[in-house]
Structure 1
Amino acid sequence: MTEKLFDAEAKENELRTQSYSWDTSTALSAEDGDIPIVDVAEYLRTGSRDALKVAAETLRGACETVGFYQLAGHGVDRKLINNMFAAVRAFHALPLATKQQIILDRPDWPLRGIGYMPVGERRFPRREKGNLNEAFLIKSAQGISFDDNQWLAETDLPGFRGVVEEYANALTTLARSILPVYAVALGLEPDFFAPGFTHPFWRLRMTHYPPFPAQDADQFGIAPHVDTTFFTLLLQDSPGLTIFSEKRKAWIKAPVIEGAFVVNSGELLKQWSNDRFVSTKHFANTDGTASRYSIPFFFNANADYPMACLPTCCGPDNPPKYPTVSYQDSQAAAQGE
């Protein structure tokens, strides 16, 4: 039997249509137990199988029943995190004309999906109304290096590129280091995912939500959506992220835990796991009085790696729901990359 082909555009339209049906009018404050904390300090320090199992059990529960968690004990230096937030604030404080020198998808730059994205962009995620944020984006994959991205001149923002590169490298190392936790959580050998992440595709987004007054009911800092990633590692400097808890069947205001990453599974991991892991619905706003900054790191397998249904997530009574697909044939295709 020939496997059904993946239709990237149809999937993009399906996700967008679903998002319009979500009732986001009520968001609850987080209560004790709402948001699991996955602490990987012991595993990263010792590499022990016991510590790996403990972290994997918590992660499994989070990804199957809640949809997101706070990652603690990750080892990313607090000074680097502070430097990164300072660099992002400095970038967005520049004059608009300076930032527009590296505008997203400018015609004379060969790489798409990177650069400065002004307020009101209708992509990432694609929506009818523009998102009320501005962002600077870079990405990496096999054959795509830091040099292939757009950067301001060093004289425009001294030290900025160095901090961003250091942070991106640290997040790549972290993301790879927790792949065994995901593998064991899914009943696989710890090194199962390693072949698919030799040259992972990632995108780093440095986002500023200006302090706009109360928005229309159908306009957001960033519109309701699901990420299309394996997983996303997010830092936020202040509240504003709202995530749908599958456990409570309610929108939850994600608290800011100092030094912790908010982590959510994306659509590709949901499909790869045959819907075992949740693809998390979320959106973001400001309170209308102050700027908010967030730094999501979107992490995926090698762009050309074929993600066939995981062997522990399908069987005679649970056949694969999705065709084998790679990132470049799914989201990269849908986004015109």
Structure 2
Amino acid sequence: MLTLLMFVISFSNRTTMGEVDPAFVQDQQHRPKLSIIEAKGIPEIDLSPILPHAAPDQYDIDTLVKEIGTACKEWGFFQVTNHGVSLSLRQKLEEASRKFFAQSLEDKKKVGRDEINPTGYYDTEHTKNVRDWKEVFDFLSKDPTFIPLTSDEFDNRVIQWSNPSPQYPPQFRIIIEEYIEEMEKLAYKLLELIALSLGVEAKRFEEFFKDQTSFIRFNHYPPCPYPHLALGVGRHKDAGALTILAQDDVGGLEVKRKTDQEWVLVKPTPDAYIINICDIIQVWSNDVYESVEHRVTVNTKKDRFSIPFFLNPGHDAEIKPLEELINEQNPSKYRPYKWGKFFVHKIGSNFKKQDVENLQIYHYKLS
């Protein structure tokens, strides 16, 4: 593994593309462009009508549901304000994250992940078989979390994943656990709005999350001398149900716009959360909503930090289009799959380059 200092030294001491570590180099067609398109069109949605102290107003809630539905259909991404998450708690978490990543590599590796229990710290994640320019720390929403031992559909064995306990910064674990509670509350509010926007009962998705496999991730993207060759995270779609992202003011998240397939920079909005619907909602909605490709660019001068929360169902949840959305005119477009098996396959591909294409939801598409 390379430390962050070694990242910079190894890249800055080389002058030609051929001398750059090829593990980080994106194929020509996937490299960032020098010109930037800013995503002014990504909707910003005010959630104040559903805050606990808000007086219920059906018109405001109906309007909110329509805004959510339009954002899901047109972008697959939106930002939320007046979301009810404590700003002071978020600031404490962001400060703790910076302190954690500022440690030596030796100290961070004390809570390192492995192929048996893939939570904790690591700096060698691959996306689409290209190494990402980042380091991360993963922490499960539920400890312990039960997950299939293998992705083999005939193997019924289940193993237990558990969280590491970082010793620094002090109280880091306690702050994380408090923040996760807030993320779950926000996620369930958003799921209700999305369900209503699809025309199904508000609590329709609740049953899938009784034994959830959700987790929170801390990302650190160090300065990169070759931002035109490498990416913080390569192009991808999120496999779970919903992602709630807190990012700093540096920026770097890019979304592939559905209308013209251009990469668009998402400008950071202070204190807002960026929401994207993921593959599972695409399947549940029977393609009414689409999980959208996104990536993260890097820069030569500034560290970037972000904290996504990935809302995932229980490992034994069967994922398929909702029965309420299926009829003769709109038949099911996916065959069912077990979330846990799918998840284990995806996690396993993060450690190293694969000889075969990673599993995607289109592999379950019905012709």
Match of 1:152 in 2: 166
Partner AA of 1:37 in structure 2: E
1:202-223 deviation digits (Å, cap 9, x = unpaired): 1111000001112353x31111
Aligned equivalents of 2:144, 2:280: Cα separation in 1: 22
Match of 1:29 in 2: 37
Aligned equivalents of 1:252, 1:258: Cα separation in 2: 19
What SS does the corresponding residue of 1:328 show, helix, strand or coil? Answer: helix
Aligned equivalents of 1:22, 1:278: Cα separation in 2: 23
Match of 1:7 in 2: none
**Conservation of the 8 A alpha-carbon contact between 1:72 and 1:261:** yes
Partner AA of 1:308 in structure 2: K
**Conservation of the 8 A alpha-carbon contact between 1:132 and 1:221:** yes
What percent of counterpart residues are identical? 26
State the structure with more CA Rg.
2
**Conservation of the 8 A alpha-carbon contact between 1:224 and 1:282:** yes
Match of 1:221 in 2: 232
**Conservation of the 8 A alpha-carbon contact between 1:244 and 1:281:** yes
Residue 113 of structure 1 is aligned with which of 107, 114, 118? 118
**Matched pairs, number:** 307
Residue 78 of structure 1 is aligned with which of 73, 87, 91? 87
1:51-95 deviation digits (Å, cap 9, x = unpaired): 332221111111111121001121001111111110110000011
With 277-286 and 140-149 compared, the bigger mean Cα shift is at 140-149
What SS does the corresponding residue of 1:178 show, helix, strand or coil? Answer: helix
Aligned equivalents of 1:301, 1:81: Cα separation in 2: 24
Quickly say closer, same or farther: Cα 1:316–1:298, change in 2 above 3 A. same
The root-mean-square deviation of aligned C-alpha atoms, in Å, is 2.5
Quickly say closer, same or farther: Cα 1:187–1:229, change in 2 above 3 A. same
**Conservation of the 8 A alpha-carbon contact between 1:240 and 1:285:** yes
Quickly say closer, same or farther: Cα 1:121–1:31, change in 2 above 3 A. closer
Quickly say closer, same or farther: Cα 1:22–1:270, change in 2 above 3 A. farther
Partner AA of 1:43 in structure 2: I
Q: Does 1:207 align with 2:223?
A: no
> Equivalent residues in 2 for 1:85-234 (5 A)?
85-105=94-114, 112-118=117-123, 120-122=124-126, 125=127, 127-141=128-142, 143-144=144-145, 148-153=162-167, 156-215=168-227, 217=229, 219-234=230-245
**Conservation of the 8 A alpha-carbon contact between 1:142 and 1:302:** no
TM-score (norm 2): 0.77
Aligned equivalents of 2:215, 2:321: Cα separation in 1: 24
Q: Does 1:52 align with 2:61?
A: yes
Unmatched runs of 5 consecutive residues or more in structure 2 = 1-25, 147-159, 350-367
Shift of residue 270, structure 1, vs aligned partner: 1.0
With 310-319 and 259-268 compared, the bigger mean Cα shift is at 310-319
Aligned equivalents of 2:273, 2:107: Cα separation in 1: 31
Aligned equivalents of 1:21, 1:325: Cα separation in 2: 34
Partner AA of 1:115 in structure 2: G
Shift of residue 39, structure 1, vs aligned partner: 1.6
Shift of residue 128, structure 1, vs aligned partner: 2.6
Unmatched runs of 5 consecutive residues or more in structure 1 = 1-18
**Conservation of the 8 A alpha-carbon contact between 1:276 and 1:313:** no
**Conservation of the 8 A alpha-carbon contact between 1:230 and 1:299:** yes
Shift of residue 297, structure 1, vs aligned partner: 0.6
Q: Does 1:38 align with 2:38?
A: no
TM-score (norm 1): 0.84
What SS does the corresponding residue of 2:317 show, helix, strand or coil? Answer: coil
Partner AA of 1:276 in structure 2: V
Partner AA of 2:38 in structure 1: A
What SS does the corresponding residue of 2:319 show, helix, strand or coil? Answer: coil
What SS does the corresponding residue of 2:130 show, helix, strand or coil? Answer: coil
